[in-house]
Amino acid sequence: MQHNEQRLIEENQKLLEEIQRLQRALNENIYETLFHASPDIIIQVDPSYKIIVLHMPEVPRERLEAMKGTDLFSVTPLSVHGQMRNALEKVFQQGETLHYESEAEALGEYRHYLNYLTPLKDENGKTYSAYFISREITAQKVSEKLRRESDKKLMALFGSSQHLHILMDKNQKLLWFNQKATETALFLFNRELVVGKSMLDYLQGEYQDSFAAYFTRAIAGEIVVFPRHYIIDDNQHFYLEMMLQCIYEDEAKTNMIGISLVGVETTDRRANEAKLERINKELILHNQQLNQYSFVISHNLRGPIVTLLGLINLFEQKSTDEAFKNEIIHHIKKSTLHLDSIILDLNMILSQSDGRETMRSEVYLSNELQMVKDLLKSQIDFAEAQIHMDFHEINSLYSVRSYIQSIFMNLVSNSLKYKRPHVPAIIHIRSSISDNNMLRIDIQDNGIGLNLEKHSDSLFGFYKRFHTHVDGKGLGLHLIKTQVDLLGGKIEVKSIVNEGTTFSVYLPIR
């Protein structure tokens, strides 16, 4: 019985040993399979740097077997020996685990490697061997180099751009900005941009609120375009066209880099647009004037000419009647003077509208009105007129002096001319600054007034008259309108029949 038990124990022991042997063989096979399948260079060396184990991808096993026992430095490029020796000395002398990068020509190509060195120690802690593992990172290095070069080019491109570029995180904090953005911030806010600061720190009032709203829309994926208008010292205008949008790493838009703010200065463009708009208005005005001149030539000039031709024909038919001749000559002279008057009127209008008078200077309203009062003294006395002026709010503008004097002359003379019978003329003239920052001049009288419902469309027309009991040509209001338009202003009229009229002239201050 005891003998059988002993035999059974021995058989079990042998079976266990066989299982362990098979397990070791299996582990060794697995290890060897993984070892030879590794994409890394794996070298085990002893303290004298002799190769114990060697694996190099793309190198046949027979050649690797032949390298075992040789010096590590005999099978590695000379250019890496310095780094390799320093690393091995630290591993064997100090027992350190370390890593470093190297680059060299290997297998006919220039390659980059990331190297790991790990010591193997005995039970006393002494390093008896070391594993040297090199992983090729050429592709990553090339990719990094290309990315750095691309980033460098992009930074140069955006850095030298004449548009301002700012990159913010999702909390509106500055991550990066170019030189133009720095210069613009100093110009507008007298402050330097600082990485980490919130963009809202540089904005005030409604601009801060609107920017926060635009930013929220941009975070949601919208491309937001909006204008900015700043007024700098001395009434200098500065315009920007801004654009906010998300920037992503890839087309799938899975990873947001930040929010881009791009600003394009449009000050010059705005000035050119305003200039073009002004030119267009002048062209329209000149076209309208040409139509009026055409009307005058076809009607006002043709009338006297036809009369003259008829009188000359009569003169030729009645050449023997002296009394009749004298009468015809009288009418010829009258028609000729009428014709001359029309031509003089046309010359005056043309001289005003063709832009000859373009010299602008500081014009004082009180001085120009006083000059007009001196020139119209006899009419003022005859009308027993009282002229009250109030220029305390604003008394000067940068404009064409002769135009301002002509506007006063025509409007004041109209108020005197069209006064109510047996009622002294009272004229109030005052200046103020309008809501759109223009000079407003109000000239109010207590005269006979106008029926604006009837005459509003033709009020400033050429040779238009609305009262026949007073001598006139109907030219004054047309002249005023022409001059106001050329100065870039406008004129408005309010009038009540038998109560009075108020003309409001709006002109640029500068």
Tell me whether the CATH fold assigned to 13-141 matches the one assigned to 161-265.
Answer: yes
The residues near 154 (Cβ < 8 Å, ≥ 6 apart) are none
- Per-residue model confidence as pLDDT tens digits over 3-39: 555 655 565 566 556 555 555 554 445 555 555 667 8
- Per-residue model confidence as pLDDT tens digits over 341-384: 556 656 655 555 554 445 678 889 998 898 888 777 878 888 88
Listing DSSP states for 193-262 in one string gives: --TTSBGGGG--HHHHHHHHHHHHHHHTT--EEEEEEEEEGGGEEEEEEEEEEEEESSTT--SEEEEEEE
Task: Report the CATH number of the 13-141 domain.
Answer: 3.30.450.20
Domain ranges of the chain: 13-141, 161-265, 291-353, 361-507
pLDDT band at 397; cut points 50, 70, 90: very high
Handedness of CA 407, 280, 432, 364 (dihedral sign): negative
Q: Which of 237-241, 280-284, 339-343, 458-462 has the lowest mean pLDDT?
A: 458-462
| More confident of the two residues 250 and 54 | 54
Q: Report the CATH fold assignment for 161-265.
A: Beta-Lactamase (3.30.450)
Query: Reduced to 3 states, what is the DSSP secondary structure of residue 133?
Result: strand
Give dist(CA 140, CA 142) in Å, integer.
Answer: 6
Joined together, the tokens standing for residue 150 give 């691309």
Q: Given this model, what pLDDT does residue 406 score?
A: 79
Which CATH entry fits the domain spanning 361-507: 3.30.565.10, 3.40.50.720, 3.40.50.20, 3.40.50.1220? 3.30.565.10
What's the one-letter identity of residue 214? Y
- Pick from 360, 389, 357, 392: nearest CA to 373: 389
In residues, how long is the chain? Answer: 510
Considering the chain, what percentage of its residues have pLDDT values greater than 70?
77
**Pairing state of beta strands 386-390 and 426-433?**
parallel
- Pick from 135, 54, 45, 56: nearest CA to 91: 45
- Per-residue model confidence as pLDDT tens digits over 234-255: 678 889 999 999 988 877 777 8
